[in-house]
Structure 1
Amino acid sequence: MTALAAARTARGPAFATTGRAGTITLEPADPGRDAATLRSWLAHPASAFWRMDHLDVAGVRAYLAGVAADDDQDAWLGRLDGEPTFYVETYDPARVLLGGVHDAEPGDLGMHLLVAPPPADPAARRHGLTDAVMGAVVRCCLAPRRAGGLGAGRVVVEPDVANRAALAKNAAAGFRVLREVDVADGGHTKRAALSVCAAEDFAASPLGPGTDPAPHLRPGLAAHAHRHLAAKALGELAHERLFRPEPDGEAGPGEPGTDGRGRYVLALDGVTYRFTARTFALEHWVVDPSSITRTAGPSEAELPVDVLELVAELQPLLQVPDDLVATYLEELSATLAAGAAKRERELTGASPQVPDLAAALVPGTAERRDAAGDEHRRAAAFQATEAAMTEGHPGFLANNGRIGFSLDDYRAYAPERGERVRLVWLAARREHTHLALGEGLTEQGLYSAELSGAERAAFADRLAARSLDPADYLYLPVHPWQWQHRLPVTFAADVARDDLVPLGPGADEYQPQQSIRTLFNRTRPDRHYVKVALAIQNMGFLRGLSPQYMRATPLINDWVAGVVEGDPTLRACGFEVLRERASVGYTGDVYHRTATPNAHRKMLAALWRSSPVPRTAPGERLATMASLLHRDARGRALATALVRASGIGAEEWLRAYLDAYLYPLVHCLLAHDLAFMPHGENLVLVLRDGVVRRAFMKDIGEEVAVLGDRALPAGAERVRADVDDEERARVIFTDVFDGVLRHLAGILAVDGVLGEGRFWAVVGQVLDRHAAEHPDLASRPGRGVDLRAPRFAHACLNRLQLRNTLEMVDLADQSSTLLYAGTLANPVAR
């Protein structure tokens, strides 16, 4: 049923709306009742564009009767506060007037409006009447039928291009001109501005109700995000010893052996911060966001808590280079905006809360029995958890920068939005493109697995249609943002000469992961992840991928996987790597021929990484390790929920997690000189009944290092880092103890699940068990790694980003670019 036909079946009730002008109603026109009124309006010069001034009352009555008898048209009388004020016609534009000139869409509804001529006496005229009438009519057309409207998807109008008043009023109501057309109307042909208005067009227009394009940027949401980030800044920057908060008078920190809760003060130049915090091992601060106050001057006038102002006030201590301060503040501002948006999504129920996440990760008995549907549930729970993460990196303050994303880009591509995207595929000329394949994989095998037969056939046909030979090209997936913002501009010459040929979007839908440029296949979860270049600035880096750097990626992954799979201890732990099976990169652009390396060389490359879904069993669930540090909008921690849902003691739960995470990492280091980047998003945990049982390590090609002189395959030498035993130990101290476990220890202690003393005692027990089970590793020549040493060097992450917000470390030599702030007491020291 069309909107017009539906309206005809419900002529009884009038549509009504009330605004500043008064109450406006629409009702079906009655030829006998309304002909004389309409005749008087049509005879007025202001109605000249209707071209009906020649009709008498009988003629108007006959005209209205004709409209009423036509199934494709309707006539409506409009009243203001009960008085006849305007006349409206609605029609099916596919059948009336616009047939052949308008490509009508389902739900299109044509509309004509005639407002009663203004009174001769200017004093009697009502200011804003036409605006009010126009707004009411469009609202009626677009309103759903259940609300008394006509339920149109779009309103269509075709005013004469010479009718400037109508054109202006249409524009004010949100109508978009599609094009000019010739319209035959009653023996007269007019040049018309064919225009349409959808609900979103009207809502955003001056006559519409208005829209909020950024509803997350509201004072309450922003204030919460400011406080959250200010608390993190105070805690993490104090942890890195950029300043030292002092006890605030008598309300100082707790005595040794207490929970460490106290009131602290940080006095800066003219501004003072006070807050309540708990302190833990590794100089870990948990600051209560609601407790923070900011005051100015001797009078201590209270100021709003503003994390951007906090960083500006701390600049003498932070010493961000003058030419990079604005970049850092922009990344921090984007992080603030993302925090407000995440908060809004949680409060509105758009993202799941911790009880929902925990329920999905701890399947019930009935779910465990349904093996047929379990793979789908594994993937769905995994990706729901991935999208629910709100913190980003637990240590970095400005961790959601994403400079280059617009608001629409954020909504489409930010991991926390959980939206699905389709990759855009390019054909890259083979002579300028390198495809690296892992062990046992062929080019045909890769593309046959990742692209359906229909896609491969379509791509070949599209190349052939341009007189290009498909055999001369390799297929390269790119992020839709990269295609829109980089390919047609930065690589315009390459596209124009057919070295890069856009083939269109692929069929599979992907979901962005926390690393933002890595995408998980939601259509076929058993297929590979795809990691693509994304030329946005985020957390100290332009998120590109180097074709040259990735040539060796599959080779390195195969070697690392061979080491891991060949070790019986690691097999017993269930520790595996998600192998990066293939990489592809284009180097035919002019940027690869410049004398100096540049970021533009990292904009056209991709790699394929194995999915963990096929390597799990019914009843198992997958979750990013970052989820163990997640708190929802009500402050509930997922780690706490999992401990309580597991049915086992907190120490037993922790030991199971450490056996899957810490134990194999220690073994890789001591037995094989292998070091990974084991932070939250680089580990995928496998849980059963809420307990971590094993783990997958990912991001091997860019992050793995061999810290010794062991033999490497030809082409893999770049992963070697010759370091001493102290730095070898920092792989565990910095990346695991300080980077992950101190945060988890704080969460479990604050929640009353497990005291930090017992937490670190379990960590020590796991280390001792590994040493007892592998006494030969302690006696290896030249390997004096002592993970229970009294102290270790305090590596600082934020200091790196503050020093250089554009490239905080040299990926080819990360060790030499680290920054330290003395040493930390080892919480598992003997």
Structure 2
Amino acid sequence: MSTPHPAPAERFATPGGVLTLEPLALDGPTVELLHAWLTHPRSRFWGLLDADPATVRRAFEAVAAHPRCEARLARLDGVPLGVVETYDPAEVLLAGRYAHRAGDVGMHLLLAPARTPVPGTSAALMAATLRGLFERPGTRRVVVEPDVRNEAVHRLNARAGFEVHGPLPLPDKTALLSTCTRKQFEASELGDTARPVPAAAGPAGPAAAGHLGLHPMRVAHRHLCCKALAEFAHERLVHPEPVGEGVFEVRAGAARYRFRARRTALEHWLLDEGSLRRTVAGAAAEPDAQALVTEFAPQLGIPAHLLATYLEEIASTLASAAYKLVHRTRPATALAGAGFQEVEAAMTEGHPGFVANNGRIGLGVTEHDRYAPEAARPVRLVWVAARRSLSRLDTGRGLDEDALYAAELDPGTRARFRARLTGLGLDPRDYRFLPVHPHQWEHRVTVTFAPDLARRDLVLLGEGGDEHRAQQSVRTFFNTTRPERHYVKTALAVQNMGFLRGLSPRYMRDTPAINDWVAELVAADPVLAGAGFSVLREVAAIGYTGDAYHRAAASGHGEEGPHTKMLAALWRESPVGRTGPGERLATLASLLHVDALGTPLVSVHVRASGLSAEEWVRRLLDAYLAPVARCLLAHDLVFMPHGENVVLVLHEHVPRRAIMKDIGEEVAVVTDRPLPEGLDRIRHVVDPATAALSVHTDVFDGVLRHLAGLLEADGLLAAGAFWELAARCLHEVAEADPAGAGRVPLFAPRFEHSCLNRLQLLNTLQMVDLTDQAASLQYAGTLENPVAAPVPVR
């Protein structure tokens, strides 16, 4: 081999994007990635399926230490794509086993397994690698020895011009010895598809958007198209027609989408993302999520004046997905043992059901890299002083203003804030301290509330002392400096998933009292207490009301709207203090996370637990489904128990109990049962069938449908068996409360098909009226209830 030491990074332009080959650094994250790649079933021919990370590290350390071997990491437009190993076949592996020639270079390619395979990716890796090798002085022929059973790589080698010499017995396999000269490569199908390019200069001035490359965007488009087809089919907005065994087609004008798929309970579609093919007027076309929405717009029912807004949310969702493909590369196998906030930052799917699920319209590229949860950057909140007479602070039982600030702000920070006010000739006793999202300060407070700042009804105090991390909801922060301190939920004038993310001071005035009542009700229920179920209380809410927008609404000449929800915050309890020895926290949403390899995090937890999939799911249902159903049957109380609103406590990868959050905006009492004075806001009386949708829609359709699909697709548990376990769990809850079970039809043969995307498509600016959410629901007929069938006796 002509180059005993690693060459510098090389870059090649290919039809699939710019492919970079760089020296392989064996740092922790890279070893995690290599381990996940090599232990994936699709990498079986590398012979390391059962290896642990230490074994993988040692294998590549041996390559790095050998003077005639080299390993390089391949990236396509920044996305980690695989590994290229080169070696001198005269001294390594093939020494004395074949007819060696001067200038021979041995080569191994590892193409990373992909959840969303994009056509042309393996060809880009092969073409760039061969082009790079033949550009090196002394390389005359490339030698490969893949396993004879590896038909996929044989096809790729043939496309690159390799000549097959026949089977070759090696100590660990029977190889198919093949070679390729420069002339053979350049005459092949791939010979002119890669050319060297110099390193790109960094952009001058504006912030870089390096994640917006061809390859990550192709992957993002394909995945979002598959999700859109699956969820729109689930909501009966599009209607896939069978065109072959397991193959379906959807049509919209001249556009055709064909894919392999199967349908499980609750009309859940499992699409093979690599199989998706789009044609327009018979010609092959790239999957394009914005084009799909436009093509299907008449079926989707998007009002014409809101189509552009929805397309912008799709574009923002694509940009976020591309960012995660480049920057959030931790595999599920590593995340299963990671910390609470590490997992939160690694999440790649904004919501399992919504198609436009990462809108965040209003965050620029620099702000996305600074404030988005996937950026995982430390954030210090901006604090302002709000004049006491023009603001309100509401606290829960046992908490007052002084105790709140003492718990949330260090003495030095409080002293600095008071000194800022006194330095302006103001009396600190006349003000309250209000936390503000930095983006909100920069873009809204300093502009929209400029007169208030000038009057010193609002005063900038500066940054707080603690560092925080944004959660998946974007405007809620976890305190990483003092994790036992409260979450802080801020107003944020960013459009995301059908809402401008504001907070209403008027609406929040009863929030602490509502939280106190729900927490006390849950704690007093012996069944819920026995399950360890609890809630994270929102203990305090603050809002500024002294602005012109509130005055206009109060005068009757205006109304409450986005401008009256721009300066407010609330504090929510942290779950950190609720864990015992060996316990870890993870959101329910994290179980639905699927990494870039296609590995679901739930599958890693199940396999690592040592339990059967049936037993693991039973434990999860006991911790999550059973308490939610109990609250409905025994207390007429419903939550919004989607994945991000539920924090699971895990022990050795097994769910032990659940903690519910986001109580103030989402909880409801669905009958006319007595409520404490002042809590009528949460009463939303509905008929029993609609009340049951809090389980049927929010739990079954919103969470468990996706979880069952992941477990079935991964071969761990058939969907039918999953739903039998869910039925058993609910029957146990019903047996403990026969009166409630007789009133609420949880086991009805069918239930109304309430659809999330239909809500967003109908009004992309505000999906629902928070004061009457049930009236906003959009239905598409009924669904067969997967727990309605009698449960077999065991």
Query: What's the TM-score once normalised by structure 1's chain length?
Result: 0.70
| Aligned amino acid, residue 275 of structure 1 | F
Q: What are the within-5 Å matches in structure 2 for residues 332-343 of structure 1?
A: 332-343=314-325
Aligned-pair distance for 1:705?
Answer: 0.3
Contact 2:634 2:737 (C-alpha < 8 Å) held by counterparts: no
2:317 corresponds to 1:358? no
Q: What SS does the corresponding residue of 1:811 show, helix, strand or coil?
A: coil
Q: What SS does the corresponding residue of 2:434 show, helix, strand or coil?
A: strand
The alpha-carbon distance between structure 1 residues 292 and 216, as it changes in their structure 2 partners (threshold 3 A), is same
Q: What SS does the corresponding residue of 2:319 show, helix, strand or coil?
A: helix
The alpha-carbon distance between structure 1 residues 296 and 572, as it changes in their structure 2 partners (threshold 3 A), is same
For 2:628 and 2:591, the matched residues in 1 are separated by 18
Output one character per residue of 1:75-131: Cα deviation in whole Å (capped at 9) or x when no partner: xxxxxxxxxxxxxxxxxxxxxxxxxxxxxxxxxxxxxxxxxxxxxxxxxxxxxxxxx
For 1:359 and 1:613, the matched residues in 2 are separated by 16
Q: What are the within-5 Å matches in structure 2 for residues 606-617 of structure 1?
A: 606-617=569-580
| Aligned amino acid, residue 573 of structure 1 | A
For 1:439 and 1:319, the matched residues in 2 are separated by 47
Residue 619 of structure 1 corresponds to which residue in structure 2?
A: 582
| Aligned amino acid, residue 288 of structure 1 | D
Residue 275 of structure 2 corresponds to which residue in structure 1?
A: 291
2:729 corresponds to 1:797? no
The alpha-carbon distance between structure 1 residues 778 and 318, as it changes in their structure 2 partners (threshold 3 A), is closer
2:218 corresponds to 1:230? no
The alpha-carbon distance between structure 1 residues 826 and 205, as it changes in their structure 2 partners (threshold 3 A), is closer
Aligned-pair distance for 1:418?
Answer: 1.1
Output one character per residue of 1:658-712: Cα deviation in whole Å (capped at 9) or x when no partner: 0000000000000001000000000000000100000110000000000111111
Q: 2:249 aligns with which of 247, 265, 283?
A: 265
Residue 740 of structure 1 corresponds to which residue in structure 2?
A: 703
Aligned-pair distance for 1:393?
Answer: 0.7
Q: Structure 1: which 5+ runs fail to align?
A: 1-200, 253-261, 361-380
Q: What are the within-5 Å matches in structure 2 for residues 118-517 of structure 1?
A: 203-205=202-204, 213-248=208-243, 251-252=244-245, 262-297=246-281, 300-346=282-328, 349=329, 352-360=330-338, 381-517=339-475
For 2:549 and 2:207, the matched residues in 1 are separated by 41
Q: What SS does the corresponding residue of 1:339 show, helix, strand or coil?
A: helix
Identity %: 58
For 1:288 and 1:393, the matched residues in 2 are separated by 19
| Aligned amino acid, residue 285 of structure 1 | W
Aligned-pair distance for 1:776?
Answer: 4.4
Q: 2:541 aligns with which of 583, 587, 593?
A: 583
Contact 2:533 2:659 (C-alpha < 8 Å) held by counterparts: yes
The alpha-carbon distance between structure 1 residues 562 and 799, as it changes in their structure 2 partners (threshold 3 A), is same
Higher-Rg member (1/2)? 1
For 1:272 and 1:528, the matched residues in 2 are separated by 50
For 1:813 and 1:230, the matched residues in 2 are separated by 32
Residue 560 of structure 2 corresponds to which residue in structure 1?
A: 597
Aligned-pair distance for 1:390?
Answer: 0.3
For 2:528 and 2:667, the matched residues in 1 are separated by 17
Q: What SS does the corresponding residue of 1:759 show, helix, strand or coil?
A: helix
Aligned-pair distance for 1:359?
Answer: 2.6
Aligned-pair distance for 1:205?
Answer: 4.6
Aligned-pair distance for 1:319?
Answer: 2.2
Contact 2:533 2:658 (C-alpha < 8 Å) held by counterparts: yes
Contact 2:207 2:365 (C-alpha < 8 Å) held by counterparts: no
Q: 1:717 aligns with which of 680, 703, 728?
A: 680
For 2:486 and 2:710, the matched residues in 1 are separated by 33
Residue 58 of structure 2 corresponds to which residue in structure 1?
A: none
CA RMSD in angstroms, aligned pairs only: 1.5
Aligned-pair distance for 1:266?
Answer: 0.8
Contact 2:413 2:465 (C-alpha < 8 Å) held by counterparts: yes
For 1:226 and 1:296, the matched residues in 2 are separated by 16
For 2:397 and 2:334, the matched residues in 1 are separated by 40
For 1:750 and 1:575, the matched residues in 2 are separated by 30
| Aligned amino acid, residue 821 of structure 1 | A
Output one character per residue of 1:175-221: Cα deviation in whole Å (capped at 9) or x when no partner: xxxxxxxxxxxxxxxxxxxxxxxxxx994459xxxx99112111111
- Greater Cα offset, 337-346 or 716-725: 337-346
Contact 2:207 2:366 (C-alpha < 8 Å) held by counterparts: no
Residue 629 of structure 1 corresponds to which residue in structure 2?
A: 592
2:666 corresponds to 1:703? yes
Q: What SS does the corresponding residue of 1:431 show, helix, strand or coil?
A: helix
For 1:462 and 1:767, the matched residues in 2 are separated by 57
For 1:769 and 1:752, the matched residues in 2 are separated by 27
| Aligned amino acid, residue 283 of structure 1 | E
For 2:397 and 2:368, the matched residues in 1 are separated by 37
How many residues are paired up?
586
For 2:202 and 2:768, the matched residues in 1 are separated by 47
Aligned-pair distance for 1:501?
Answer: 0.3
For 1:685 and 1:440, the matched residues in 2 are separated by 27
For 1:203 and 1:242, the matched residues in 2 are separated by 44
The alpha-carbon distance between structure 1 residues 778 and 396, as it changes in their structure 2 partners (threshold 3 A), is closer
2:708 corresponds to 1:750? no
Residue 638 of structure 1 corresponds to which residue in structure 2?
A: 601
Residue 783 of structure 2 corresponds to which residue in structure 1?
A: 824
Aligned-pair distance for 1:639?
Answer: 0.3
Q: What SS does the corresponding residue of 1:723 show, helix, strand or coil?
A: coil
Aligned-pair distance for 1:241?
Answer: 0.3
For 2:397 and 2:751, the matched residues in 1 are separated by 39
Output one character per residue of 1:320-369: Cα deviation in whole Å (capped at 9) or x when no partner: 111111110000000001111111124xx4xx211111133xxxxxxxxx
Q: What SS does the corresponding residue of 2:459 show, helix, strand or coil?
A: strand
Q: What SS does the corresponding residue of 1:486 show, helix, strand or coil?
A: helix
Aligned-pair distance for 1:715?
Answer: 1.4
The alpha-carbon distance between structure 1 residues 682 and 205, as it changes in their structure 2 partners (threshold 3 A), is closer
For 1:702 and 1:417, the matched residues in 2 are separated by 27
2:540 corresponds to 1:545? no
The alpha-carbon distance between structure 1 residues 216 and 205, as it changes in their structure 2 partners (threshold 3 A), is closer
For 1:523 and 1:202, the matched residues in 2 are separated by 37
Output one character per residue of 1:776-814: Cα deviation in whole Å (capped at 9) or x when no partner: 4335xxxx2121110000001101111100001000000
For 2:336 and 2:203, the matched residues in 1 are separated by 40
Output one character per residue of 1:566-619: Cα deviation in whole Å (capped at 9) or x when no partner: 100000010000000000000000001222222100000000000000111120
Q: What SS does the corresponding residue of 1:359 show, helix, strand or coil?
A: coil
Report 1 or 2 for greater relative contact order, CA contacts < 8 Å, sequence distance ≥ 6. Answer: 2
| Aligned amino acid, residue 321 of structure 2 | G
Output one character per residue of 1:618-648: Cα deviation in whole Å (capped at 9) or x when no partner: 2000001101111101011100000000011
For 1:515 and 1:561, the matched residues in 2 are separated by 22
The alpha-carbon distance between structure 1 residues 290 and 593, as it changes in their structure 2 partners (threshold 3 A), is same
| Aligned amino acid, residue 247 of structure 1 | P
Contact 2:633 2:737 (C-alpha < 8 Å) held by counterparts: no
